[in-house]
Structure 1
């Protein structure tokens, strides 16, 4: 099985590469630059293809002989409208169109929690956590581009029968950053479990799931991911004492940085780049 991983030089793809090793599996890494060397790279079955998502010919070439796509590439931070639409929406269209033309039906798409950023924490209405398929409520132009990508994925699932899982990713880091991470962290190991579930779920059609670990303080639902076979194991609570000592006890009910899906991005000036 050959899996195309876009954004193959990025931090998420780099954390995934060794975790996706399997007999008979080849990872084809697609990016503008060569991916970094990682420990044990000699044992990995990998191919590298350089190119841009904004180049439809390069995208089509990268998709040749591929069985599934894990789409992590694009603009990952806030930027102006032209850039986020070119890198994310147009780039994803090129990829979906290449997949359709070449008969690639399994597609895992990295969306973002920022596609739903202005939704507040609402334990009264959703005691099991905010559902993953909340209507888009983007917090930035970046989040808007991810909402656009989700709707584009829905079109390709409905019109062409592709199996497309959009993952509204939280904070995918080795350890949960700051106090917000106690609720929204996705560990690298759970990230790999999630991708494996998305690749192997039988005939999922179009789905949206949260990319989050089994955190004690989680307020996003796991039900949609579990329906696909994603059962996260890690819990940010093991880092709680360290985070609380540094940042204090979080008040998820009052602090607007903690009780909205998009946190401080909801207050970030539109189009202004984040450092």
Structure 2
């Protein structure tokens, strides 16, 4: 049986911790790259009895030589590496933007045919919530330097597909967590199981070219379209509504007119004062 070899950057992060135990499978090898050792599988929410075939690489996504070496022999790159919160512009540019370009260039040099990029709802953070699901190709309206880095990520992915023919799928992730902690999350949540379903669909789909897909579950209160995900074979099954009774009992029903965080895609990241995020 041919082994499918996948490189995951940002392997010590929270999203990778949700994903890893759910995509381990016979005939699949994972190479895990981060600046720190990833947690042991036993420390994660393991749901598989399969023996993991994993290799660890310590280093930064901004190191082209290391990334090219890590990409050698890989069938796909899942790029989760980078800063996951707002930070100083220089740091965002160095780690997120340079890191993404480095990852794509390393994949090109090593002949990796498919790259999955972890974009974000913050690439369109100032997009207003609407009564219709927002399509995955909604125009860029970044809410922060972090959001701007995801705009750059999507643009870099587009260029590496158009210029070099790499299949690139950008995932505009809503809220990829184990549960929902606020009212906004009822619209933006992606469960760990659905996150794995999305990645599996992106790995399986034949010749996707360049795509942008929302990373959300089948939430009753969702703001984002599922059409683009279904086009690549992603059919989420979980619904954040299971968390709604407790959240509404604590906070009341969402008041979209009173709170900008519930009326813009980026939520609290769109609060501004004198041009600065609060």
- Asked if 1:158 is matched to 2:162, the reply is yes
- Indicate the residue corresponding to 1:28 in structure 2: 31
Q: Which consecutive unaligned segments of at least 5 residues does structure 2 have? A: none
**Separation in 2, partners of 1:196, 1:170:** 18
**Separation in 1, partners of 2:51, 2:246:** 35
- Indicate the residue corresponding to 2:195 in structure 1: 191
How does the TM-score come out when normalised to structure 2? 0.93
- Asked if 1:107 is matched to 2:111, the reply is no
- Indicate the residue corresponding to 1:179 in structure 2: 183
Which of 242, 251, 270 in structure 2 is aligned with 1:266?
270
1:176 Cα offset (Å)? 1.2
Q: Which consecutive unaligned segments of at least 5 residues does structure 1 have? A: none
- Asked if 1:207 is matched to 2:215, the reply is no
- Asked if 1:80 is matched to 2:88, the reply is yes
Structure 1 runs of 4+ with >3 Å offset: 268-272
**Separation in 2, partners of 1:230, 1:201:** 9
Aligned to 1:4, the other structure's residue is in SS state strand
1:38 Cα offset (Å)? 2.6
Deviations 1:78-98 (A, max 9, x none): 011111111111111111111
Matches within 5 A, 1:35-54: 35-39=38-42, 43-54=51-62
- Indicate the residue corresponding to 1:18 in structure 2: 21
How does the TM-score come out when normalised to structure 1? 0.94
1:241 Cα offset (Å)? 0.5
Deviations 1:239-275 (A, max 9, x none): 1101111222112354211110001101156777x9x
Matches within 5 A, 1:231-246: 231-246=235-250
**Which structure has the higher relative contact order (CA within 8 Å, separation 6+)?**
1
1:43 Cα offset (Å)? 2.3
1:112 Cα offset (Å)? 0.5
